[in-house]
Every structure is written in structure tokens, then in C-alpha cells.
Chain A
Amino acid sequence: MNARLFALPALSMRFVHIWRRNLLVWRKLAIPSMLGNLADPMIFLFGLGYGLGAMMPAVQGVPYIAFLAGGMVVSSTMYAATFEAMYSAFSRMHQQKTWEGILNAPILLEDVVLGELVWATTKATLSGVCILAVVTVLGFASPKFVLALLPVIVLTGLAFAALGLAMNALAPNYDFFMYYFTLVITPTSLISGVFFPIDQLPAVLQGAAAAMPLYHAVALARPLMFGEWPQDILLHLAVPVVYAAVGFYVALVLTRRRLLK
């Protein structure tokens, strides 16, 4: 029993079937879904960028809205991945019993969890890319390294989708997700350099930020959007990669414990 619980995932391309199922549902609701995903970060970006930015001097040598844009691209990716991997996956797992139906077919739980991970990452990537496109077209970001931002956005999505799926496996109900938002996601977005440079924060908070993937995503995204090549690239890539890989495994074990008992 325990051997099966902790077994490494037997990965296969079968996850694509689950991804395509979610894509088909999304296509029916694409317009409202896209608007919902984009409106919130855009309001923040322009509200804070222009409103707060008007009262501020340049930050790191650029107008505040250009500084903020680098953070918003990856933090909106984080939010989109987290929402999809928690609320939407929970609906499919718990409310609609969609997973139960899928598992009656020749599909393994790892196929389902991987399918949800890739799907949440897909939606999150779409959200991050849309914001990136808007700020680049408006001239708040340099188009020079714009393609290099794609892997940063994808990794951010993978890392937070994996964490979200682990939370999904633990959740008794939808209310549970509020704790995760309040205790993890909101503080993370405040200390990771999305809204302000973190060198003014106490060392302990800077350390906490460095332990989360969002800080590393910001450390890559912001210079790239300024048209500069970032420093410590390997470290900043490694942290979200580890979160994605370990997070996926933990999510799988927790989901096995929940559903295969």
C-alpha cells in the first residue's frame, strides 16, 4: 500500500486527453474567462502604475509603471495558475466527479494530475503572455528579449500550479483555499519584488522571498523586460523547476492518499 502511495509517477502522454478535455470546456467560455483573467492585473497595473506612479520618482531608473509591469506579468501568472489548480481542479475532482469518470477508463491518477498541471500552466501562460503583449505594445517593456520571457512565465505557472494541486488534494471544501491565499499567495506577492524593490525589507523577509519561486521569476522577468540580460540565471531558473517537480510529486502522493485509499 505505502509502496503504491509513494511510487514515482508512471508518466505517459495520456495526460494530453485530460488537457484536451479542459481545453474543450474552456473554448466554450473563453471570452469571459480571458476577460476575468486579464482585467484584474490590468486594473492593478494601470491603477497603481499611473495613480501611485504619478507621485513617485523613477524606480530603478524607470517610471513606476514600467517597474511594476515586470512584476505584474509573473504575479498574474501565479494567480491564474493557483486559481485553476485549486478552484477549477477541485470542481472537477470533488463537485462534478469528472476525475472519477476519467479514472474508470484506462487512465492513471498521475495522468489526471499531470493533465491538470499542464492545463493550469497553459491558462497561466496565456494570462502572463497577454499582459506582456499589452505592456510591450504600449512601450512599457523592451521587445528585445521578449521571447526569453516565455520560459520564465511557463516555469512560474508550473511551480504555482503544482503547489495549488497539492492544496487541492488537502482541501475539504472551497473555503480552505482562502487560507492558502491569505497565508501564502498574498504575502508572497508583497515580498517578492512585484510592487517595490525588496532590498529595503528586513533580511528575514528577503530570505523568505528567496525561498519562494515568485521572487526568482521577478528577478528574471524584470531585467528581460528592461532589455537587459539577468544575473544568476541558473539559480533563478532552478528554484521554480524544483518547486514544479517536487510540488507535482507531493500533489500526486496527496491526491493518491485522498482518492485511492
Chain B
Amino acid sequence: MSLSATGRTVLSVAGLRKRYGADEVVAGIDFEVQAGECFGLLGPNGAGKTTTLKLALGLIDPDAGTIRLLDRPVPQEAREARQRVGVVPQFDNLDPDFTASENLRVYGRYFGMKKSEIEARIPQLLEFAGIANRGTGKIQALSGGMKRRLTLARALVNDPEVVFMDEPTTGLDPQARHLIWERLKRLKQDGKTLLLTTHFMEEAERLCSRLVIMDHGRIIALGSPRELISKHIEPNVVEVHGPGFEGWAEAARKLAGRVEIAGETAFCYATDEEPLVASLKSHPQLIYLHRPANLEDVFLKLTGRDLRD
């Protein structure tokens, strides 16, 4: 757990519930985000991540529970709290009629910023977005990654203490995704508190100091990525597929802590992988991959392998 020097609580949520019709989308969750940390909300589609973000911003009303954001009660004083918050929505909603600079300028006004303040920040923000020379260009001419970085830069126009990000890299190619990750690390170094939702385990593992895994509106695990891996899963994974893998997997149950069969692959989780690898030597038709356990293994163990749509 990484706490900043002050250890101040930026966001606290207790007993939070939100129902849509018969569906309880957020079913009683509690967590706290400390100043300076990158906190992740992980979960499959429909787990309640986006609803939790919207509740914390005071954009929708909870059915029960209390929320405090930057020492203000939400939703009662959400507007005042949002003065010091930046938001990156799940889908870019940049103004298509404006240039990149105009997008930043108009957005700065919503925070009541003075013209001179905004104009001084625009070059820095364009540089942060990696589009320093495209400020006067049309938004439509920007690539998906550029638009995403501009959306991130727009969320920083008011120099916020906390940045909420709803799936910041969904839909981006690997190069664009890595560039966003670098920018988020820069924000962490600058002392910003980050709260992000994602279903990319790699993203959470790289960026988040702490995270919760949500499913069906509940928090089912909380901790740092390392803590969660060591607590919930054996450190080694051997994935096996190929003709006759099921027969081999049955025999391997004695050698592994846990064997899970999903479709055409056997996932063997073990503290010591040596016996498994040795036994595979006598089955040359089987293809295997030995790797360290990661957050995705924890995630799949806790939320299951069923599709969520």
C-alpha cells in the first residue's frame, strides 16, 4: 500500500448502493482512496465500475450510502468538489466543431478560469498530449490515440488534485496505449491521485498501487497487485493444449495445486512447476507455456470464465 506523505483521504465511499429497476448495479461497496495513489476499479462488463465513478462524481444519486470527495459530501456539494477533479470519460466527447486548442479553452471556462490562466496552460497541455503542433488543427484529423491524449489533457486544464478515468486505453493500439501509460506515470510523479477503471489486467498491474476487483456490484478483493496475486493464486502457471491434453491434465492434478480446464486449454497453477514441466517432456504432442501468475489469473479465478455481455 503506498500512501503519500500526508496520507489524506481523497475519496471515501461507504455502504454505497444503486439500483436500476430490478438490477442492483452497485450492491453495497466501501473503499477509500488516499492522496497520491493510483487506485484501480477492476471488473468484467456490468460489474458496476462506471456507475461507481458517476456516483463518486455526484452525476447520479445513490439509493444508499455516503460519499466524500475532497472533504465534501457528494452529491450535495459535488459541484464544488469537481472544481478540483479532472474526468476522462469512457468515450471521447471532444467537441468536433472545435480545434484542439479551442477544446481546451472552452473546457477551461467551465471551471471559471480566467482567459490568461487558460491561455498560459494550453501550450503545456498540447505538449502533454503530444500534439504541440496540432493545436489549430481540426479534431477529426487526429488519430484515436491523439484524441484520447487530448481528452486526458482536457481533464487536466484545471490542474486537478484527482483524475477520474473510465477505461483510459480501451480501443487503442499498443503504441498508443503505452504512451498513455507513460503520461499517467508522469501524473503520478506529479503527485496527482488517479482513480481508474479498467479491464486490462496488465494496465492495472503496471499502474495501480492498490485496486479493488468488482463483480455484480460488490467488491470481491482489495489490495496491491502483488498482494492479490500472492494471496489468491499459486506463483506459477503452465498452460497446456494439443491432442490428448485432457488425459494429461487428469494425471497432472496430482502435480499442480489447481488445474482448470477452459475450452481447449488446461491451466495448471503450482508453487513448484518443475514436476509439471518434467511430465510434459514425455508428451511431445502437447504445446505448453510456462509463465509467472499475474493479475488476470486472480481476476479469472475470482470472477469466473463465463462471458459477460
- Chain A residues close to B by CB (< 8 Å): 1, 4, 14, 17, 20-21, 24-25, 28-29, 96-98, 100-108, 260-261
Query: What residues on A are CB-neighbors of B95 within 8 Å?
Result: 21, 25, 96, 98, 101
Q: Are A105 and B111 in contact (CB under 8 A)?
A: yes
Query: What residues on A are CB-neighbors of B97 within 8 Å?
Result: 25, 28-29
Query: What residues on B are CB-neighbors of A28 within 8 Å?
Result: 97
Q: Are B93 and A98 in contact (CB under 8 A)?
A: yes
Q: Pick from B59, B60, B110: contact of A17, CB below 8 A.
A: B110
Q: Are B60 and A104 in contact (CB under 8 A)?
A: no
Q: How far is the CA of A28 from the CA of B59 in the complex (A)?
A: 31
Q: Are B61 and A4 in contact (CB under 8 A)?
A: yes
Q: How far is the CA of A108 from the CA of B79 in the complex (A)?
A: 7
- A104-B79 CB under 8 A given contacts A28-B97, A97-B93: no
0/1 interface trace, chain B 114-139, chain A, CB 8 Å (1 if under): 00000000000000000000000000
Q: Which of B123-177 contact A (CB under 8 A)?
A: 158
Q: Which of B76-117 contact A (CB under 8 A)?
A: 79-80, 82-83, 87, 89, 91, 93-98, 102, 106-107, 109-112
Q: Pick from A96, A104, A108: contact of B89, CB below 8 A.
A: A104
Top 5 A-B pairs, shortest CB-CB distance = A105-B110, A104-B87, A97-B93, A101-B93, A106-B83
Query: What residues on A are CB-neighbors of B83 within 8 Å?
Result: 106
Q: Are B60 and A260 in contact (CB under 8 A)?
A: yes
Q: Are B110 and A102 in contact (CB under 8 A)?
A: yes
- A21-B59 CB under 8 A given contacts A98-B93, A106-B82: no
Confirm or deny: B240 has a beta carbon within 8 angstroms of a beta carbon on chain A. no
Query: What residues on A are CB-neighbors of B112 within 8 Å?
Result: 14, 106
Q: Are B82 and A105 in contact (CB under 8 A)?
A: yes
Query: What residues on A are CB-neighbors of B82 within 8 Å?
Result: 104-106
Q: How far is the CB of A161 from chain B (nearest CB, A)?
A: 21
Residue of B nearest to A92 (CB): B95
Confirm or deny: B213 has a beta carbon within 8 angstroms of a beta carbon on chain A. no
Q: Are A100 and B61 in contact (CB under 8 A)?
A: no
Q: How far is the CA of A97 from the CA of B89 in the complex (A)?
A: 10
Ordered by A's residue number, 11 sampled pairs between the chains whose C-beta atoms are within 8 Å are: A1-B63, A4-B61, A17-B110, A25-B95, A25-B97, A28-B97, A97-B91, A101-B94, A101-B107, A106-B110, A108-B79
Q: Are A261 and B91 in contact (CB under 8 A)?
A: no
Confirm or deny: B57 has a beta carbon within 8 angstroms of a beta carbon on chain A. yes
Query: What residues on A are CB-neighbors of B106 within 8 Å?
Result: 17, 20-21, 24
Q: Pick from A1, A25, A260: contact of B59, CB below 8 A.
A: A260
Q: Are A96 and B79 in contact (CB under 8 A)?
A: no
Q: How far is the CB of A197 from chain B (nearest CB, A)?
A: 44
Residue of B nearest to A97 (CB): B93
B interface SS class:
loop
Q: How far is the CB of A129 from chain B (nearest CB, A)?
A: 25
Q: Which of B154-202 contact A (CB under 8 A)?
A: 158
Q: Pick from B57, B61, B80: contact of A104, CB below 8 A.
A: B57
Query: What residues on B are CB-neighbors of A98 within 8 Å?
Result: 93, 95
Q: How far is the CB of A50 from chain B (nearest CB, A)?
A: 38
Q: How far is the CB of B265 from chain A (nearest CB, A)?
A: 40
Q: Are B89 and A260 in contact (CB under 8 A)?
A: no
Query: What residues on B are CB-neighbors of A1 within 8 Å?
Result: 61, 63
Q: Are B110 and A260 in contact (CB under 8 A)?
A: no
Residue of B nearest to A10 (CB): B79
Q: How far is the CA of A172 from the CA of B152 in the complex (A)?
A: 30
Q: How far is the CB of A114 from chain B (nearest CB, A)?
A: 14
Residue of A nearest to B79 (CB): A106
- A104-B96 CB under 8 A given contacts A20-B109, A24-B106: no
Query: What residues on A are CB-neighbors of B75 within 8 Å?
Result: 4
Known: A1-B63, A24-B98. 15 other contacts (CB 8 A): A20-B109, A21-B95, A21-B109, A24-B106, A25-B98, A96-B96, A97-B91, A104-B57, A104-B59, A105-B111, A105-B158, A106-B80, A106-B112, A260-B59, A261-B20
Q: Are B109 and A17 in contact (CB under 8 A)?
A: yes
Q: How far is the CA of A105 from the CA of B104 in the complex (A)?
A: 12
Q: Are B93 and A261 in contact (CB under 8 A)?
A: no
Query: What residues on A are CB-neighbors of B98 within 8 Å?
Result: 24-25
Q: How far is the CA of A29 from the CA of B91 in the complex (A)?
A: 26
Q: How far is the CA of A230 from the CA of B57 in the complex (A)?
A: 52
- A107-B110 CB under 8 A given contacts A4-B61, A260-B59, A260-B61: yes
Query: What residues on A are CB-neighbors of B96 within 8 Å?
Result: 96
Q: How far is the CB of A11 from chain B (nearest CB, A)?
A: 13
From B83, B87, B158, residue with most partner A Cβ within 10 Å: B87
